[in-house]
Structure 1
Amino acid sequence: MHEQYRNYTIRSWQPEDRQAAAEVIKTALAEYGLGWEPDGADRDVLEVERCYVDRGGEFWVIELQGQIVGTSAYYPCLVGASAPDNRGEKAVEIRKMYLSRHVRGQGLGTYLLGALEQAIVDRGYQEIWIETASILTAAVKLYEESGYQPATGVETPRCDRVYVKVLSLDC
């Protein structure tokens, strides 16, 4: 992945991005009174290779003038009896969609969600799941306005909402 949106570069994560990506997420969470959980919900940011790349997903960073100002990612949901999510064979979960405060409100989140959806459709997936917290009101609004439907089965302790969107393969 490597594309431009306005003055932003959206590209695939590289190992040297680990700390900067973690800082964007940690800072965004703190703004909303949510804790950084390096041994829990945020372990995947520190282990991108294992949690995304090796699992067949993608993790993107968003740069502005050479600085990482956002992240977005997805990975295929696990299937089978041992899978904690059991959300379907052709399902993915979008995760870690965070933007630094100074770049919010410019349409970047909407653009990122669309780019993620297109990448997911291109890989043949049919469902997208997203977990979020009610306090992240802009994210909740974005998901609901983008056709995501409330569902059940929240797995991340700091989240209290889960959404699903069934994709049309002609998106």
Structure 2
Amino acid sequence: MDGLTIHGYRDDLAQAFHDINAQWIAAMYRLEPTDRDVLENPRARIIDRGGDILFVEAAGLGIVGACALQKTGEGQFELTKMGVLESARGRKAGEFLLHAVIARARALGAERLYLLSNSKSAAAIHLYEKLGFVHDTGIMDEFGARYERCNVAMLYPLD
């Protein structure tokens, strides 16, 4: 998509990861201890454990979005902490980022890619569905209790 670029994780982008996600979480929900832990320690909680964080940059706006792949088991990743700044909405930055994150999950050897969300995040859920994620009660049963706000669980068919 025109004017959009993907960047991999660098320590100098850790603050952007924190700020982008803290903004949308606080606007719709409340920051839970699990959120704070990941947002304040992205290298230790995501990168050093075999995951990754990707960023999307919009020409003229800088870094406008971020998304993490948190390794939760052998060949298993949670797509988490995906946010795009309001200033960049409408530019398809989220869709561009989500395509890149799915490709990165495959490159990391993901056999299972899932996400946890909330039905209040209707636009995000629509985007996930558009790119192929499907609602999955097994994922909800296995991981849903991790967040108080979680009432949606989705799985991406990697095969």
TM-score by length of 2: 0.84
- Greater RCO, CA 8 A, separation 6+: 2
Runs (5+) with no aligned partner, structure 2: none
Q: Secondary structure at the match of 1:40?
A: helix
Aligned partner of 1:129 among 111, 114, 123: 114
Query: Residue 167 of structure 1 aligns to which amino acid in structure 2?
Result: L
Cα RMSD for the two superposed structures: 1.8
Say whether the 8 Å CA contact 1:26–1:35 is kept in structure 2: no
Structure number having the greater helix percentage = 2
Say whether the 8 Å CA contact 2:113–2:158 is kept in structure 1: yes
Q: Give the % identical residues.
A: 24
Instruction: Point out the structure with max Rg over C-alpha.
Output: 1
Distance (whole Å) between structure 1 residues aligned to residue 87 and residue 61 of structure 2: 15
Query: Residue 14 of structure 1 aligns to which amino acid in structure 2?
Result: R
Distance (whole Å) between structure 1 residues aligned to residue 36 and residue 149 of structure 2: 11
| Cα deviations by residue, 1:110-153 (Å, 9 ceiling, x for unpaired) | 22111111111122212211011111111111112222121223
Stretches of 4+ moved more than 3 A in 1?
Answer: 64-67
TM-score by length of 1: 0.79
Q: Secondary structure at the match of 2:34?
A: coil
1:19 correspondence with 2:19: no
Runs (5+) with no aligned partner, structure 1: 79-88
Distance (whole Å) between structure 2 residues aligned to residue 30 and residue 46 of structure 1: 15
Query: Residue 94 of structure 1 aligns to which amino acid in structure 2?
Result: L
Aligned length: 152
